[in-house]
Structure formats: C-alpha cells, structure tokens
Amino acid sequence: MDAILNPPARRSLSPALLAAGALYVALAVPPVRYGLESTLIGHMMVQIPFLAVCGALVGSKFSHRIGPYAIPLLLVAVFASTFWMIPRWLDAAISDPVWELAKFLTIPALVGAPLGASWSRLSSVARGFVWANGISMIWFLGWLYVAAPQRICNNYLLNQQVDFGYTAYVVGVALVLYWVGRCLFGDWRHEGNISNVP
C-alpha cells in the first residue's frame, strides 16, 4: 500500500546532470584544456567558472538535503575559490599535473557543488551579500592584475595579465547590471520567501 501511495522517486538522468558531465568532459579534453589555459582570461574567466558550473549543476540536485548547512557550504565555496585565485596555485595547476588534477576535482566539488546546493536555501540577504562581495572581488582582482608592475604568474605574459585585468572589470560591470536588473525587474516576491532560518 505504501509503495502505491508513496512511490519511490524516479531516478532518471536529468538534463542538468548530463549537461554537467558533457561540460566537464569538454573542459578536460586536452585541446580545450590547453587552449583555455594558454591565456589568463581563458583559464580564470572561462575554464574555472565553467568547472564551477559543472559542480553547481550537480550540487543543485541536493539542495533539499543540506539541512541547516547552507551558510557553511557557502563558506566552503568562498574559501575554495579564494584559494584558486592565489596566483601561485594557478601557476601550479599549469606546471604540475597533480595540482591540475586537484583543480579539476576541487573546483566542481568545493566551489561549484556547495554553491549550487546552498543557493536556493539562502535568504535574499545572504544572496545579496554573495553578489556584492563576489563582484567587488572581481573588480579588485581586475585592478590587481592591471596595476601589477611585474608578472604575477610565471606561466603568463605581462600583457595577458593586463588583458585579464580589464576583462575582469568588464565582467564585474556585466554582473552588476545583471544583478541589479534582476533585483529591480525580477520576480522578487518569490525570492524573498526562501530563507534558511534554523
């Protein structure tokens, strides 16, 4: 009787998971990997964010199971993403296969997945905090890479560094426009109801 009234949830391969898998494989194949890693923009602005997207797509499937741990999960994503913004480890991923593997594992698992899992469970205040800090971090990164008098990364040229900095400014502006646009014109009535009160 119970099996009829409460059928077990259908476990099918959702499009999101397939997309995550396909994206991950696409990022990992040598031509794409080397191509993206050959420039700082490709590495930091494309490869790493899309690796995080892979993780986020998977993580979002579990957001109903995270209990009171939305904030800690968010913090995991913050610390992990900060780690990979340190130039030394970006360099290490290129110079050392062990660190490259670590990057391909930890960015989906420790940046993307926690973010994906916790996002829908965060209050709009927490989300606003993440947006504001994330955008200012990107602008700061942009300034750092534009203003640095010498090469920060052993594996990239000075002009690549500067190009990345300016790109970061532009991406920051785009994110601001997107975020503000959603706040002003988006469906705020539903967003405001999602909270994570313990």
- Contact residues toward other proteins (CB under 8 A) are 67-72, 75-76, 78-80, 82-83, 86-89, 91-92, 95, 151-159, 198
Query: Which residue, 45 or 76, has its beta carbon nearer to other proteins?
Result: 76
Q: Sign of dihedral through CA atoms 52, 129, 176, 195? A: positive
* Dihedral Cα 26, 31, 32, 38, nearest 10 deg: 160
Nearer to other proteins, 14 or 154 (CB): 154
Q: Give min distance, CB of 69 to other proteins, in A.
A: 5
The minimum distance between CB 26 and other proteins, in angstroms, equals: 25
Rounded least distance, CB 189 to other proteins, Å: 26
Give the nearest distance from C-beta 59 to other proteins in angstroms. Answer: 16
Alpha helices in the chain (DSSP H): 2-5, 15-28, 30-37, 40, 48-59, 70-85, 87-95, 97-106, 113-119, 124-147, 158-185, 188-191
For other proteins, which is the closer residue by CB, 68 or 181? 68
- Round to whole Å and give the CA distance between 22 and 25: 5
Quickly count: other Cβ atoms within 10 Å of residue 12's Cβ.
Answer: 7
Alpha-carbon gap, residue 75 to 186, rounded angstroms: 26
Select 20 or 153, whichever has its Cβ closest to other proteins.
Answer: 153
